[in-house]
Every structure is written in structure tokens, then in C-alpha cells.
Amino acid sequence: MSYESPIREPLVTGGRTASDVTAEICRPLENKPSKLWWLGFTLSIVCLTILVYTLVRSSFEGLGLWGINKTVGWAWDITNFVFWVGIGHAGTLISAILLLFRQKWRMSINRSAEAMTIFAVFCAAIFPLFHMGRVWIGPVWALPLPNALGSLWVNFNSPLLWDVFAISTYLSVSLLFWYLGMVPDLATIRDRAATPIRKFVYRFLSMGWDGSTRTWARYEVVSLILAGISTPLVLSVHTIVSMDFATSVIPGWHTTIFPPYFVAGAIFSGFGMVLTLLIIARKVMGYENYITIGHLDAMCRVILLTGSMVGLAYITEFFIAWYSGVQYERYAFLNRMAGPYWWAYWSMMTCNVISPQLFWVKKWRRNPNFIFVMSIIVNIGMWFERFVIIVTSLHRDYLPSSWVMYSPTLIEIGIFVGTFGLFFTCFFLFAKFLPVINMAEVKSILPGKAHSHEAEEVKQPDLVTQ
Amino acid sequence: MANKNKKYIYGIYDDADAIMDSVHKLRGQGVEIHDCYTPFPVHGLDKAMGIKRSNLTIGAFLFGALGCTLAIVFQLYVMAADWPMNIGGKPNDGYYPSFIPVTFELTILFTAFGMATLFFIRTKLIHGKVEQLVDPRQTDDLFVLAIEEKSHNFDKEMVNRTMIDGGALEIRERELEK
Amino acid sequence: MGHSHTVHLTEERYSMTSKTRNILFGVLALGLILTIIGIFQAQGAAHHEAAEHSALVSTETGVVSADAAHHGPTWVSRLWANLLLNGWYTLIIAMAGTFFIAVNYAANAGWATGLKRISEAMGHYLPVGLVIFLLIVFLGGDSLYHWRADGIMDENSPNFDSIIASKGWFLNSAFYYVVAPLLVVVFYLFHRNFTNMSIREDKEGGVGFFKRSVAFSGAFLFLFAFGFSILSWEYIMSVDPHWFSTIYAIYNFAISFVCGMTVMTMITLFLKSQGYLSFINGEHIHDLGKFMFAFTIFWTYIWLAQYLLIWYADMPEETVYYYMRLDGNEGIYQFQFWANLFLCFFIPFLALMTRNAKRNPMWLYLVGSIILIGHWNDLYLMIMPGVMQEHASIGLLEIGMPIFFGALFVFIVLKAFEKAPTFPLKHPYLEESVHHDVGP
């Protein structure tokens, strides 16, 4: 039993009933896709083709096609890897952490955010895999196989190996969480299916779900525990990504705040991407009653919070670099601000720290067009953050004779653009074949008669004042 | 048992509160609830039906402990026992902080998949299973209250009346082979 | 689920029973007596050690003896170090009270509304705590902070330390005497504002106060993040003036919040046992327990992030911190260092795992005490090696003083709790809090 304070905004507007929810969420699955869908899908496929082309060339001709060099051995690829992994974090945050914090607004956005997580991790995985050079054998070396089967045993002391474990655990647990959350909705689609193929496919996927309360009771416990363990998991993933850098002795990389700072940045960028996608999706698919202005407002607050946390981390890093008195640290940060990549640093600062502060204004937090622009700015800013961290710390190392500049080649740019193709192809397919909003959960928070009856009873605090 | 088949009475509702009320009333009259089928988890319905809290959490803990142990043993075996190597001067003679991340990840992995597997086994959900529905809209917007017709002093009349009075749209009966 | 029960809330006010007061005064006196005996004990021990030590030092190099002469920790430093530890500990727990109010407004959370007056009362320790804390750092600063030693930033002095001198832009009187204390004053002004609005809301009602509190919460959280960082760098990290860690402020925050939630849980349980706040039930206690559990894990995460990264990179300017807590300083901190992990992580983590554990008052008192002792030990390890080096030890002083501060804290908080109704009468989320249900 729950009571909702009357001052809370309704989470579903337009007086929707349970059957409206089913009908509206299932509509894209049961009808031919719109022209807009085809347009977007085609564009994504074009980008995906670029990905395939650039990756095939990178594999056959080698990484000489990339702009990396001896001094800057990690650059574009790792930037993009961290960028995509970071984007993935919002999905798990929304479904796990917000579930633990009882933020009910998560219910209509968690499905698509989780899907986004999974697709973003696919995109991320491409970069380290292809950076290994020989992609047909590299992944085998990352598996813990005995000496006789591979090269040697993997090195568990290496943060890169921790990453293999973290990302693969994250991907598989996220898939599980996402799928488990979808089973009841798949059953709903199954029970409405008009064609035998659809019936067959969704019957297979829904595992014979019948909505039994005995199942629901266990299902809720499982969801809660999964949320409970996904929360430290999601923190651990970007923590371990940050340790790829922070365990080293490179100025600007080795700093103890990296783990929580990367996590905050990841959530920040992830919410940027969720907003970008959902502002389009709610418009195109007509889900304004489910993803309301109130939802956007709440997400903007998260952006504001995490943006400020990232800002605090930037300032802390800078402060300690100065406080430490270590000349290399001091130089690394000066070089970021005023070195040859100053433009990247100041783009990052503007996009990540200054612009989110605009969200203090409530009016702007509730203006979808403004939010859309801001969400893209956040994404750009977070991409630059990784670029700044990786390239500016490397390009001027301890030995001034090896100082160089880095710039990406067309092939590298092609791979990055291509990953957007992969991401959006997956997302368009998801929007066509799977329910974009969690129907079962949204039905449970409908402000319908089931709840009004309760609310009437306790509308006013029954206070006996003496 | 003379009769192998089981008989069920179903009350179909369109309101979560109504089904909850009926469950309370029926249980108050000593009727055992076989199950309720709902399109979304109705908060508190499981408690009303007298379902105990699931013990899956214990299973989850055990799987987590298993994953944690395996990860520690495996890393020790690889790094310290089978083929100790000096890489970057890192120690290779015991458990060190650098093994914590992988230990953590495997603990989570085992917990998640172990618990999910237990859940699917316990709830008998499996790919390809054909669903047993009372009404195709029970996954859309209808709520079904199912009661098994027991042979001994089963007051069918009372059950039907309670459900109708409680707001059931209709009552159905069905016999299922055991 | 009887979803038709209506809860009758009666405005109630807490008044401390004479029994509670007597017990608190008793504990306070006990702490004070132990502290005083402890001081004499410390004096005795220091004299004894000094006699032994002077024999040793004379045979060593001039650098060591010069250092020992200028910064030789005495029983006075030990007293100041203990005061700093307990003063800071209680101060950051009080800050957690204000933080909890703000975070609930900002997150639009309703469940904890019934507990709001408890967090308000905790924040009311801020002015007392600040005065005590400032007395400690201002009067004892020269014993506590090596960077305040004479001539340490003066190039011409024999005492000159170039590393410390390079931090002169932060480790200076302006920050020490003005900026950092002002930050706490600002926190308290925010706290006053929150509580005043809450009291006015009790009388006038409406959502206006709620909306203003939400706005103030955003501003507070923003300021708190920066201010708390500066405070922990200026007063605690600078105990080890050569060493630095970017995560340090977050580490302090983790201690503040996990201990704040623990104290809040224990005060809630105490008030319930006294018959107040009857609508606070197992559901709320369960959620408080979840906070204790979750932030125990958070603390461990931050601890590990710092330890693992420093251990892994193995750079001397950083590892010295852990060296001084493990093998260094004659190894006197080693046991406490490892015990810390058990007190702050393993025991509470395993003990609070199950649902029943988070709902059992006696169990929560027990685990809560372990957490509080654990983080006292945690702070001990942060402060003592820097101030006392190998001369620290645990005697009656270290036992008596936390008892004294603890009793003082509880007394002031309960006194502050008397001043307003036990729950915010017209908070728009009060009803939600009353009907709070944790769920599966």
C-alpha cells in the first residue's frame, strides 16, 4: 500500500487506463513502421556500413591506419571506449539505483535506458577488441586459459584484465536484468498477437508467464536483489575503467579520486544520452503521457547533480595537483588548460561544468527543446573529457624529445561515426520489436481508480492538534 | 484420490482493490486461495494470500559466496601456484589487493545468474512453455482469482457469492488434468 | 493488507526524562573522569618514553634529532590529537543531519519525513561542535600541525621544508582561521534556515515552505560539497602535510554519512523505546538499516579506491601514508589498520545483510556501536600517525574522551529535539512517511 502526496506530479498523464497502456505501448510492434522509422533506420544502417568498412580495413591493413603513435598509444579508440561505456551507465542507474531509492519516475524510462546500456556496451567493446590488432586472436588472449592453450595465463594484476571481467559481467548481468524485466511484457504481447509468427516468437520469449501472484512475489524479490547487486556492479565497472588509467604513474591519470569521479561522469553522460533519445522517442512515438515533462525535469536534476560532482572532481584534481607540489602533476594540469589542446579542455569545462548549471532554472528544466540541445552539449563535453584525460596526459610525457601531437585519421573518425550507426540500428530494432516502456510497472503506478479510492481516505493528514 | 482432475473456480475482476478485498474476505472465511493472476504486481496481494516471503535471497547469498571463493582460489592458483610470473614487480605469492576487482565481479556474476536460475526453476518458467491462461486479458488489464475446489466441505455457493459481491465481473469454472 | 486503516497522529513533544538526563550526566562524568585520569596516565607514559628516547636519539643523525626536537610529540600533542579526533568526529556527524534533510528535499523523498526532526536535532549540534572544534584547532594547532611549526615555510630557517612551503597558498592563516570556520558557519545558517522554515510550516502549513526548502537544499548541497572538501583538507589531511590524496574529502564524507545514519538510527530506536514517534515502524527502521548497510559498502569502496590505487602505483610520496600505518612507526598501528576493515566493513556488511537484521532494534544497536567504534578507529588512523608518529597508544584518555563527546552530543541533540514537535506536522510528505512500506 502506498500513499501519494497530492503535491506530487502524476507520473502518467492523460487519464490512461491499463488497457490504454497496453494498446499504446504495443502499437509500434503490431503495426507497420512509420516513414520516420524507416528514414532513421536507413541512416543508421548507412553508418553501420561505415563501421564495417573501417573495421575490416583496420583488421586487414593494420592499425597503421590509425593516428596513434609511440607516445600517444591510446587515443581515439580508448576515448570512444570510455565514452560508450559511460553512456551505458545511466540504464543501470535508472533501473537499479533509482529502484533502491524508490524514485518511481524511473518506471517509464528504465526499459529504454537499459536497452541503451546494452547497445552502448556493444559499441564500447569494439574499440579495445580492435585495438588489439589481431582481432581474431586477441580476445582469446583475454580469456583465462592455461599456458598450453593460449599465450600464457592472463595476468590478474592487470587492470586491463579487470576490465575484461567487469565489462563482460556488466553486459551479461544487464542483459539478464533487462530480459527479466521484459518477460511479463512479452507475455502481454503474446496474448494480443494476431499472427502465428508473432505468437510463436513471443511465446518462446515469454517463457509461459501467466502473471501468477506466486511468481510475481518471487519476481519482485529477484528484481530487488538484482538491483541491489547491480548498484555496486555499475559503480565497479567505471571504477575499473578509471583504474586503467589511475593505476599507472602518468601525471593526470594517477589520482585517487578517479573511481568516484569517473562514475559520476558516466552517469552524467548516460543521462545526456537518455535525454537525447527519449526526447525524440516520446515525440515520434507519441509517449508524452508516459515520459512527461516531470520525467524530463527529474532527469535534468540528475544531470545538474552529476555535472556538479564532475565539476567538484575537476577542481579537486586541480587543487591537489597544485597542493602536492609535484612538478609533473602541476605541469600536466597546466598543459591541459593552456597547452596545445587547450580548446579541448575548455570545451570540456564549458559543456560539463558550466552549461549544466543552467538547469538550476526550473523553466529550462521543463523545456524539451532546450533540454535536447543541452543533452547533446553534455555528450560532447563528456567525449572531450575523455579525450582531454587520455591525450593531453600522454602527448607530453616525461621525455620532452618524444613530445608529439595526436590527430585522428579518417578511418578512426569512421569507426566512431560507425558505432553510432550500430547503436541506433540496435535502438531502432528495439523500438520496433520490443516494448519501449515497461507496461507492467507503468500499470502499477496509474493514477486510476485503484488508487484514488485509497487516496480519498487519507487525503488530509488526520492530525489531532492539542 | 478418486478424482484425478482438479476443479477450479475463477473470479474475473477489473480492479486491483476489488480482488484484494475478495482475497481478504475469502481468507477470512477460511477459503484457501489457489492463486491470483494479475497484469502487474499488486502490492500486498501476496501477503494477503498468505504467501511467505521468498527464500531466494539465501540462494543468492550462497551463489555469491561460491563465486567469491572460486574467484579467490582461481586467481591464487593462476598467479601464485601454477605459473608465478614477475610482471612489473607485482608480488606473486598470495592474495593481493589487485585481485579484489575480479573477485568482486565474479561474485556478482554468480549471484545474478545463480539466483535467476533458481527463480526460473522455482517458478517453472522456461522457454517454449505454453502458457495456461484463464483469460487472455489477464496480462493486459484483468485480474483473476483462482480457487481450487476441494472435496471436503467446499462451499461453492459462498465462494461465488463473495466474489460477485466483491466486484467480480464473472465467474468461470474449469477442470484441469493433474 | 489492511489498506483502510487511518493513523491518528497527535502532536507530541519530547521531554527528556530525569532518568535519561541522569544517565547522560553520569556517562558524561564518567567520560570526563576517565579523560582526566587518562591525561595523567599519558603524562606518566610520555616521561617514561622521553627518558628512553633521548638516549636513542643522541646516537642518531642530526636530522632525526632536529626533527624530534621541533616536533617531538608529547602528552600535550596526544591530548590535542584526541580532541581533534573527537571534535571532528562529532562535527561531521552533525553535518550529516543537515545533509540528510537537504538530500531528502532534493530527491523528493517522502519516506523519511517522520524522521526529519531527528536530523534537525542532530544539526543543532553544529554551533556547539564548531565552537569546541575551533577551540581545539586554534589553541592546539601548533601541537597538531607540523606545517604550523616556526619557520617551516621560511627559506632562511633551519626548519625550512620546501614541500610544505609550496603549499603555503593553502596551508595558511587565512584559510585556517577564517575561510574554513566560516564554511561551517554557513552550513549552520542553512541548517537554521531549514529548521526555521520547518517550524513555521508547522504553524502556517501550505507548500510554500516545502518549495523554498527544496530550492535551499540544492544550494546547500552544492556549497556543502565544496566546503566539506576544504574543511577536510585544511584540518585533517594537513595532519600529514607532505601527503595528498584527491579522494580524501569523499573519504571523510563517507565516514560522516555512514556514522550520521547510524547515529540517527540509534536515536530513532531510543525515542521509539521511550514511546515517541509511534508511527515510525519496522519499515522506516528497515530503510535506515539499508542506509547503514549501503554506506558501509560505499565507505569500503572509497577506502579501497584510495588504498588500491596507492598500493598499485607504488609511488613513495603516496605510499608513505600507508607505510606509516603498517610497517612504519614501529608497526604500532598495524593491528588497528587491519582491525579497521573488520569493524567498518566485514562485520557490519555481514551483520546487516538480511532483512530481519535491519529490523531488529537490539541488533541495530549492537552493529551500530561497532560501526561507530570502527569509524572512531578509522579517524584515529587518519590523525594519530601524523601527530604522534610512533608515540601513540590507547589508554584511558582514548577511551574516556569519546565517551565524553558522545554523551555531550546525545545530550545536546536530545535537548534540541525537545524544542519542536517530534515530527513536522504539516510537511506535505508526512502522510507518505506514515504509510511507508518497504515492499518485497
A4/B contact by beta carbon, under 8 A: no
Residue B17 lies in domain: 6-39+141-176
- Distance (Å, rounded) from C-alpha C268 to C-alpha C27? 20
Determine the length of chain C: 440
Query: Where is average pLDDT lowest: A44-48, A212-216, C431-435?
Result: C431-435
Q: Do both B33 and B60 map to the same domain?
A: no
Chains within contact range of chain B (3+ C-beta pairs < 8 Å): A, C
pLDDT in tens, C166-189: 888 898 888 999 999 999 999 999
**Residues A254 and A271: beta-carbon distance below 8 Å:** no
To the nearest whole Å, the CA of B20 is away from the closest chain C CA by: 8
Chains within contact range of chain A (3+ C-beta pairs < 8 Å): B, C
To the nearest whole Å, the CA of A44 is away from the closest chain C CA by: 37
The CATH number of residue B157's host domain is 3.30.70.120
In this prediction, residue C70 carries a pLDDT of 46
Is there a domain that residue B113 lies in?
Answer: yes
**Residues A324 and C244: beta-carbon distance below 8 Å:** yes
Q: Which of A185, A186, A180, A181 is nearest to A202 (CA)?
A: A186
> Span A342-368, mean pLDDT?
91
Is there a domain that residue B72 lies in?
Answer: yes
Q: Is the pLDDT of residue C249 over 90?
A: yes
In this prediction, residue C6 carries a pLDDT of 55
In this prediction, residue C307 carries a pLDDT of 94
- Distance (Å, rounded) from C-alpha B27 to C-alpha B166? 13
- Distance (Å, rounded) from C-alpha C413 to C-alpha C292? 20
- Distance (Å, rounded) from C-alpha A22 to C-alpha C212? 39
pLDDT in tens, A38-95: 999 999 999 999 999 999 999 999 889 998 888 898 888 999 999 999 998 878 877 7
In this prediction, residue C1 carries a pLDDT of 36
Q: Is the pLDDT of residue A458 over 50?
A: no
Confidence class of residue A2 from pLDDT cuts 50, 70 and 90?
A: low
Chains within contact range of chain C (3+ C-beta pairs < 8 Å): A, B
- Distance (Å, rounded) from C-alpha B22 to C-alpha A313? 56
Best residue in A26, A218, A256 for a mutation probing chain B (most B CBs within 10 Å) = A218
**Residues A257 and A317: beta-carbon distance below 8 Å:** yes
Q: Which of A396, A374, A440, A428 is nearest to A187 (CA)?
A: A440
Q: Which of A2, A172, A263, A269 is nearest to C1 (CA)?
A: A2
To the nearest whole Å, the CA of C1 is away from the closest chain B CA by: 6
DSSP string, C181-215: HHHHHHHHHHHHHHHHHHHHHHHH-SSHHHHHHHH
Q: Which residues of A touch C313 (CB under 8 A)?
A: 246-249, 254
DSSP string, C286-346: HHHHHHHHHHHHHHHHHHHHHHHHHHHH--HHHHHHHHTTTTSGGGTTHHHHHHHHIIIII
Q: Which residues of A touch B105 (CB under 8 A)?
A: 162, 165-166, 169, 233, 236
> Span C369-391, mean pLDDT?
92
The verdict on a CB contact (< 8 Å) between B43 and C354 is: no
Kind and range of the H or E run holding A25? helix A18-30
In this prediction, residue B30 carries a pLDDT of 79
Q: Is the four-CA dihedral A243, A247, A252, A257 of positive or negative sign?
A: positive
To the nearest whole Å, the CA of B150 is away from the closest chain A CA by: 20
Q: Which residues of A touch C248 (CB under 8 A)?
A: 256
CATH architecture of A18-142+154-446+456-465: Up-down Bundle (1.20)
Residue spans of the domains in chain C: they are 25-46+72-434
Q: In sequence order, what are the beta bridge partners of B36?
A: B145
> Span A113-119, mean pLDDT?
92
The verdict on a CB contact (< 8 Å) between A155 and B85 is: yes
Q: Is the pLDDT of residue C61 over 80?
A: no
Q: In sequence order, what are the beta bridge partners of B7?
A: B175
Q: Is the four-CA dihedral A283, A287, A292, A295 of positive or negative sign?
A: negative
Q: Is the pLDDT of residue A108 over 90?
A: no
Which one-letter DSSP state was computed for residue A107? G
> Span C270-280, mean pLDDT?
89
HSE value, Cβ hemisphere, 13 Å, CA-based, for A452: 7
Q: Is the pLDDT of residue C229 over 90?
A: yes
In this prediction, residue A460 carries a pLDDT of 41
R_g of chain B, CA atoms, integer Å: 25
The verdict on a CB contact (< 8 Å) between A444 and B43 is: yes
A207 sits in the region (left: phi over 0; alpha: psi -120 to 50; else beta) called left
The per-residue pLDDT of chain A, averaged, comes to 87
- AA letter at B61: F
Closest-CA residue of chain B to A209: B131
Percentage above 90 pLDDT, chain C: 57
In this prediction, residue C51 carries a pLDDT of 64
- Distance (Å, rounded) from C-alpha C224 to C-alpha C229? 8
To the nearest whole Å, the CA of A238 is away from the closest chain B CA by: 12
Q: Which of A66, A49, A59 is nearest to A410 (CA)?
A: A66
Report ipTM for this prediction: 0.91
**Residues C82 and C397: beta-carbon distance below 8 Å:** yes
Confidence class of residue B177 from pLDDT cuts 50, 70 and 90?
A: low
In this prediction, residue C11 carries a pLDDT of 83
Q: Which residues of C touch A101 (CB under 8 A)?
A: 107, 109
- Distance (Å, rounded) from C-alpha A23 to C-alpha C324? 66
In this prediction, residue C377 carries a pLDDT of 95
**Residues C45 and C395: beta-carbon distance below 8 Å:** yes
- Per 3-state DSSP, what percentage of chain B is helix, strand, and coil (rounded to 5)? 50, 15, 40
Q: Which three cell numbers stand for residue B78?
A: 593462476
Smallest Cβ–Cβ distance between C304 and the set B44, B96, B100 belongs to B100
Smallest Cβ–Cβ distance between C1 and the set B47, B98, B100 belongs to B47
In this prediction, residue B172 carries a pLDDT of 84
Q: Is the pLDDT of residue A283 over 70?
A: yes
Instruction: Pick the most confident of A147-156, A236-245, C51-60, C385-394.
Output: A236-245
Q: Which three cell numbers stand for residue C70?
A: 621541533
Return the ∠ at Cα A61 (arms to A59 and A64), rounded to 5°.
100
pLDDT in tens, C408-425: 999 999 999 999 888 888
pLDDT in tens, C93-131: 999 999 999 999 988 888 888 899 999 999 999 999 999
In this prediction, residue A109 carries a pLDDT of 87
Q: Helix, strand, or coil here: A56?
A: helix
Q: Do both B29 and B83 map to the same domain?
A: no
Percentage above 90 pLDDT, chain A: 46
C435/B contact by beta carbon, under 8 A: no
The per-residue pLDDT of chain C, averaged, comes to 88
Q: In sequence order, what are the beta bridge partners of B171?
A: B11
Q: Which of C239, C307, C271 is nearest to C82 (CA)?
A: C239
Q: Which three cell numbers stand for residue A25?
A: 505501448
- Distance (Å, rounded) from C-alpha A64 to C-alpha B20? 68
Instruction: Pick the most confident of A43-52, A226-235, B153-162.
Output: A43-52
Q: Which residues of C touch B48 (CB under 8 A)?
A: 1
Q: Which three cell numbers stand for residue A205?
A: 520469449
Is there a domain that residue B129 lies in?
Answer: no
In this prediction, residue C310 carries a pLDDT of 93
Q: Do both B61 and B117 map to the same domain?
A: yes
**pTM exceeds 0.90 for this model:** yes
The burial class, CB within 10 Å (0-12 / 13-18 / 19+), for A245 is buried
The verdict on a CB contact (< 8 Å) between A326 and C313 is: no
- Distance (Å, rounded) from C-alpha B95 to C-alpha B82? 14
Which residue has better confidence, B128 or C68? B128
Q: Which residues of A touch C291 (CB under 8 A)?
A: none
To the nearest whole Å, the CA of C84 is away from the closest chain B CA by: 31
- Distance (Å, rounded) from C-alpha C317 to C-alpha C384? 19
Smallest Cβ–Cβ distance between C1 and the set B48, B89, B98 belongs to B48
To the nearest whole Å, the CA of C384 is away from the closest chain B CA by: 25
Return the ∠ at Cα A385 (arms to A379 and A386), rounded to 5°.
100
Best residue in B108, B143, B144 for a mutation probing chain A (most A CBs within 10 Å) = B108
Residue spans of the domains in chain A: they are 18-142+154-446+456-465
Smallest Cβ–Cβ distance between A188 and the set B17, B74, B139 belongs to B139
Percentage above 70 pLDDT, chain C: 92
The verdict on a CB contact (< 8 Å) between B44 and C311 is: no
Smallest Cβ–Cβ distance between A217 and the set B51, B82, B98 belongs to B51
> Span B68-80, mean pLDDT?
92
Smallest Cβ–Cβ distance between B97 and the set C3, C311, C354 belongs to C311
| CB-CB neighbours of A420 under 10 Å | 17
- Distance (Å, rounded) from C-alpha C156 to C-alpha C338? 42
Query: Where is average pLDDT lowest: A197-206, A399-408, A454-463, C143-152?
Result: A454-463
Domain count along chain B: 2
Confidence class of residue A142 from pLDDT cuts 50, 70 and 90?
A: confident
Is there a domain that residue B136 lies in?
Answer: no
Q: In sequence order, what are the beta bridge partners of B9?
A: B147, B173
Return the ∠ at Cα C102 (arms to C98 and C105), rounded to 5°.
145
Best residue in A213, A295, A318, A323 for a mutation probing chain C (most C CBs within 10 Å) = A323
Q: Helix, strand, or coil here: A59?
A: helix
> Span B146-163, mean pLDDT?
78
Instruction: Count how many pairs of residues, chain A against chain C, have C-beta atoms within 8 Å.
Output: 146
Q: Helix, strand, or coil here: A425?
A: helix
**Residues B76 and A152: beta-carbon distance below 8 Å:** no
Q: Is the four-CA dihedral A319, A321, A325, A330 of positive or negative sign?
A: negative
> Span C214-221, mean pLDDT?
91
In this structure, are strands B6-13 and A463-464 parallel, antiparallel, or unpaired?
Answer: unpaired
